[in-house]
């Protein structure tokens, strides 16, 4: 049976299910009658996979889409697992959602299924940032949490992420065990959909207040903020959940001139003013930068729809603005925090980053005598290290190149609300020194080396795209190139097989990492190229890392141009493979 036939058979099975509502039956019937069955195939060729983080997919009717039934089956499986773990003990779950279309609906579906399984639900009254869900799980002493979000994916997507009682995204063994329970729900007629509203409670303002208090107490040198409270700052939520907390957090820190991009302040799952609600994309920050130029603002910040990522724009000494990438922003943040710690805090503390994030972080940490742990991509791995080291070493700060940062462990996931607070504080303190954050960044490069990184995203949608990504990773893994763009490959690190291969000697050695579909190539000119399929979007990612020496700030443009040319050279090669 080919994929198209399989999809048609699965669609007929859904159509015949008595638990399916009339509107969905009508939509499936129309899909079955279409002469071109590609839409039907994409919707039904497989079940929407509940991965190690949860669900993510295009919204619509179909086994491979986000809808009432797939969300219900995922939640029923989660409830079944929670009951296995906790037996007859009382179980509590926190639920949040972002501004995406249907997010509130999916949150209410999730709450209803949990309540129907006799699980006590704590539901936010309106949209909230994802990090606030992580905080609420621990603050309300819940056994689990769910947030409805597809982060910065296109508008047609939504998702479902599960958190455990420590406020972190699920990891082994819970992830695989939950997946087994979800997969066991092979018919949405098995889902208990409508629970008692008496078990569903609204999370009050007290939780927000407790979060703000945790952030504010961690900001160093508050007297400087008080002195420069009127420093102009521009912030945009890009139609997302950030509007509910970022402005208020900055206000509680003492900043009095936080200017919002009004056109983007209203939550809207269609994201009408941007091509993509992703602060990693320069186009998403155009309106904020325009406002910043008019106000001569020192700092520009933009958060994604669920407010776990933040993009940063800085005014340079010449009055022009520059957008930082995630590696640059994290480097500034880590340096600022480590620089302001006591010697004892540095000795007992540690930081963390992902393997595809700039090695400038490792260099800064070594300079201050602070341990730096590298993890696989994803904050759930960073949270695992925090859990493993708890009571032995003190967590300080963590981050990844994709604009995610976390300061302190009161939230166990990337947190753009607290990150905005720290970048605002940094801007004020730099201003007090007669500098800009851009000056600070160049100073870092002079002191520690000019590290530059490039990222290529190649989109691969649908069943065909998924097959192409698998084939490419298999080819690179089984037949690694002897050279890339004319430069000899020295080493290959394969995190899927857990092996490192020395291509010059053929020697193999084990990697002490969890298994993940990531490849890293080290070249003779010092370049590192990492390849991985995205875990959250239909794309394959290439990370390029190069390094040069910067003797003084005046040479920055010249040295930077050389490194940018190297990145462009490798980008051209990678786009062709």
Q: Which sequence positions are flagged as catalytic?
A: 151
Under 8 Å between Cβ of 528 and 522? yes
Quote the strand ranges of 22-138, DSSP E: 54-58, 92-97, 120-123
Q: Which residues contact 270 (CB under 8 A, 6 or more apart)?
A: 101, 155, 239
Distance between CA atoms of 257 and 251, rounded to whole angstroms? 9
Under 8 Å between Cβ of 142 and 123? no
Q: What are phi and psi of 396, to 5 degrees?
A: -110, -65
Distance between CA atoms of 111 and 72, rounded to whole angstroms? 10
Under 8 Å between Cβ of 289 and 266? no
Q: Nearest to residue 279, comparing CAs of 394, 423, 162?
A: 423
Encode burial over 171-197: b for 16+ CB neighbours within 10 A, e otherwise: beebbeebbebbeebeebeebbbebee
Distance between CA atoms of 466 and 533, rounded to whole angstroms? 9
Under 8 Å between Cβ of 333 and 353? no
The stretches of 296-392 forming alpha helices (DSSP H) are 326-339, 343-348, 360-367, 379-389
Distance between CA atoms of 371 and 349, rounded to whole angstroms? 7
Q: Which residues contact 274 (CB under 8 A, 6 or more apart)?
A: 238, 239, 264, 281, 283, 284
């Amino acid at each position: 049976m080919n994929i198209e036939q399989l999809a048609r058979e699965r669609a007929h099975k859904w159509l015949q299910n008595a638990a399916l509502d009339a509107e969905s039956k009508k939509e499936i019937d129309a899909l079955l009658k279409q002469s071109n069955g590609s839409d039907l195939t994409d919707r039904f060729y497989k079940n929407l996979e509940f991965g190690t983080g949860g669900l993510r997919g295009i919204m619509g009717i179909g086994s491979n889409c986000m809808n009432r039934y797939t969300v219900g089956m995922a939640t029923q499986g989660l409830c079944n697992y929670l009951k296995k773990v906790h037996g007859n003990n009382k179980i509590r779950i926190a639920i949040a959602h972002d501004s995406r279309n249907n997010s509130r609906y999916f949150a209410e579906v999730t709450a209803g299924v949990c309540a129907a399984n006799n699980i006590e639900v704590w539901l936010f009254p309106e949209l909230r940032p994802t990090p606030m869900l992580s905080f609420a799980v621990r603050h309300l002493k819940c056994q689990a949490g769910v947030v409805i979000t597809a982060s910065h994916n296109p508008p047609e997507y939504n998702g479902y992420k599960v958190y455990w009682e420590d406020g972190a995204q699920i990891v082994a063994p819970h992830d695989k065990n939950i997946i087994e329970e979800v997969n066991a729900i092979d018919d949405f007629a098995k889902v208990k959909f409508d629970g008692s509203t008496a078990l569903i409670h609204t999370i009050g303002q007290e939780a927000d207040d407790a979060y703000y208090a945790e952030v504010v107490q961690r900001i160093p040198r508050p007297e400087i903020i008080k002195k420069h409270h009127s420093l102009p700052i521009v912030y945009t939520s890009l139609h997302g959940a950030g509007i509910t907390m970022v402005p208020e957090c900055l206000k509680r820190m003492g900043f009095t001139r936080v200017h919002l991009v009004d056109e983007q302040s209203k939550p809207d799952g269609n994201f009408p003013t941007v091509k993509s609600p992703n602060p990693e994309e320069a186009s998403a920050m155009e309106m904020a930068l325009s406002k910043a130029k008019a106000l001569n603002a020192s700092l520009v910040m933009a958060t994604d729809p669920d407010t776990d990522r933040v993009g940063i724009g800085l005014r340079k000494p010449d009055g022009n603005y520059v957008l930082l990438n995630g590696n640059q922003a994290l480097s500034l943040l880590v340096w600022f925090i480590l620089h302001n710690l006591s010697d004892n805090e540095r000795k007992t503390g540690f930081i963390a980053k992902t393997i595809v994030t700039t090695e400038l972080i490792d260099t800064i940490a070594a300079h201050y005598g602070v341990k730096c742990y590298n993890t696989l991509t994803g904050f759930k791995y960073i949270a695992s290290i925090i859990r493993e080291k708890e009571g032995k070493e003190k967590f300080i700060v963590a981050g990844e190149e994709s604009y995610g940062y976390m300061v302190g462990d009161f939230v166990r996931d990337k947190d753009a609300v607290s990150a905005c607070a720290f970048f605002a504080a940094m801007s004020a303190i730099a201003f007090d020194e007669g500098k800009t954050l851009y000056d600070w960044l160049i100073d870092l490069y002079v002191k520690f080396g000019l590290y530059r990184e490039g990222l290529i995203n190649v989109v691969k949608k649908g069943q065909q795209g998924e097959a192409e990504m698998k084939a490419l990773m298999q080819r690179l893994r089984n037949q690694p190139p002897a050279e890339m763009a004319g430069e000899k490959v020295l080493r290959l690190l394969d995190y899927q097989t857990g092996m490192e291969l020395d291509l010059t000697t053929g020697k193999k050695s084990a990697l002490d990492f969890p298994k993940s579909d990531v490849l890293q190539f080290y070249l003779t000119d010092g370049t590192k190229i990492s390849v991985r399929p995205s875990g959250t979007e239909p794309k394959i990612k290439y990370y390029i890392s190069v390094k040069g020496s910067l003797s003084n700030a005046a040479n920055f443009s010249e040295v930077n141009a050389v490194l940018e040319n190297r990145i462009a050279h490798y980008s051209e090669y990678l786009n062709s493979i």
